[in-house]
Amino acid sequence: MHQIYQAVLKGNLVEWQGQVPTLNGPMRIQVTFVEDSLDAPAPQQKLAMLDALNSLAASGTFKEIEDPVAWQRKIRQDRVLPGREE
């Protein structure tokens, strides 16, 4: 019989999430990797970020910047990077 348990794999260590299986010695297992990352934002966070970006775009913020790439290069050159002082 197949049973499904949630876990996080960290190197060679499996950290069980929720219900922990009862093991009576070594057991053959099959691992399936889920296509999400623990670092990825939750769906509600993604929606909140999307709303914030849409509000920013609608407000016309930065509309005076004609060439964003050139502006970004200029901004980056204006500040001294840590550990790279001349």
Residue 5 lies in a domain: yes
Residue 40 lies in a domain: no
Instruction: Give the pLDDT confidence score for residue 67 in this predicted structure.
Output: 92
Residue 44 lies in a domain: no
Residue 28 lies in a domain: yes
Domain range enclosing 25: 1-32
Residue 2 lies in a domain: yes
- Comparing CA positions, the residue from 9, 49, 46, 48 lying closest to residue 29 is 9
Residue 55 lies in a domain: no
Residue 84 lies in a domain: no
Token duo for residue 55: 């509000």
Number of C-beta neighbours around residue 3 at 10 A: 7
Predicted TM-score (pTM) of this structure: 0.38
Chain segment 3-42, per-residue pLDDT in tens: 888 888 888 888 888 888 888 888 888 888 877 666 777 7
Q: Which distant-in-sequence residues (6+ apart) come within 8 Å of 20 by Cβ?
A: 5
Residue 24 lies in a domain: yes
Q: How many domains does the chain divide into?
A: 1
**Which parts of 1-86 are beta strand (E)?**
6-10, 13-17
- Comparing CA positions, the residue from 34, 26, 31 lying closest to residue 14 is 31
